[in-house]
Amino acid sequence: MATSLLARSQRPDPQPAPETLEKFKVGMAGYTFVRFDLQMTLETLKACDVKYLCIKDFHLPFKSTDAEIAAFHAKCAEYGVTGYAVGPIYMKTKEEVDNAFEYAKRVGVKLIVGVPNVELLPYVDQKVKEYDFHYAIHLHGPDIELFPDADDVWNHVKDLDPRIGMCLDIGHDTRNGKDPVADLKKYHSRVFDVHIKDVTGTTKEGYSVEIGRGIIDFPAFVKMLRKVGYTGVCSLEHERNMDNPFLGVAESIGYFRGVIASTQKGKK
C-alpha cells in the first residue's frame, strides 16, 4: 500500500495539450452551452483544458454595460479562458450590422462570426473597412438556404474586402455534400474560424455526433490545417445531447487532441 501511494505521489504532471506545438488553437463555440450559464461553461472549459471561447450573447448580452463586459472578461480570466470572437450573430438589417460591430468593439475582439442577409454584404464590407475587423460568415449546411457550404460563402465574398471570409463549420459543410478538407485547402485564405464537429452523413439526414463517431476524416483535416498554415481557432460546436453535453464535449475534445498528437512529426 505504501509503495502504491508513493508511486501515485511521484506521477509527473500531465503533458501540455498537443496543440501547443501547432499554429492553430483549440477552443469552444459558445453555442454548445446555450442551456447553461457562464459559470458552468467556464468550469467545463477548465476541466477540458480549453482556453478559447467564441462568445455568444446569451452569456454576454448585446446591451451589456462596460462594467458588465469587464466583469465577464475577469470571470473568464479566473478560468484561464480568453474570449476570442463573438457570434454567430444573425443580421437582417443595417441596424443589426451596426449593433454587431459596435458590440464586438466594446467586447474587445476583432473577429465577428456572422450570418448576414446576402443583400447586406456590401454594407458589411463598409463596416469591415471602418472597424478593421475580420468577419467570418458561418455556413449552415442544408438546414437553411443562407450560406449552406464553403463554396457558397466563397462565391459571395471573393470580390469583397479580404477580411471577409468564413467560419468553416466542417459538420454542416459535410452535410451539404462537400469535403471540408478540400474546402480548407481551396479557401484557406478566407477561413478565419473553424467549427469542429462530426456528423453521420453527407445529406440533411446526417446528424451531429461526438468527434470520432462520424464520417469526417479528422487526421486528414488536421494535416490540412498544418499544410495551409491555419493560425486561428478550431472551436468545438457540440450539438448532441445539449441538455447534458459534458461527456460528449470531453470525448470530442479528447479525440481531436488525440488526432493532433498522433499525427505530429515523428509520430505514426
Residue 2 has pLDDT above 70, yes or no: no
Tell me: the pLDDT tens digits for 82-101?
A: 999 999 999 999 999 999 99
Domain boundaries, the chain: 19-262
Quote the pLDDT of residue 123: 98
Residue 268: pLDDT over 50: no
Give the pLDDT confidence score for residue 3 in this predicted structure. 52
| CA atoms of 230 and 266, how far apart (whole Å) | 21
Q: Are 148 and 142 in contact (CB under 8 A)?
A: yes
Cα(first)–Cα(last) distance of the chain, in Å?
A: 38
- Banded pLDDT at 263 (limits 50, 70, 90): very high
CATH top class, domain 19-262: alpha beta
Q: Which three cell numbers stand for residue 185?
A: 485547402
- Contact indicator for 171, 198 with CB cutoff of 8 Å: yes
Q: What is the mean pLDDT of the chain?
A: 95
**Cβ atoms of residues 26 and 17 within 8 Å:** yes
- Record the cell numbers describing residue 40, joined without a space: 458552468
CA distance 34 to 185: 31
Residues of the chain with pLDDT > 90: what percent? 93
Listed range (12-16, 62-66, 181-185) with the worst mean pLDDT: 12-16
Q: Determine contact, residues 43/75, Cβ cutoff 8 Å.
A: no
pLDDT in tens, 56-73: 999 999 999 999 999 999
CA gyration radius for the chain?
19
Are 183 and 155 spatial neighbours (Cβ–Cβ below 8 Å)? Answer: no
- Answer whether residue 28 shows pLDDT above 50: yes
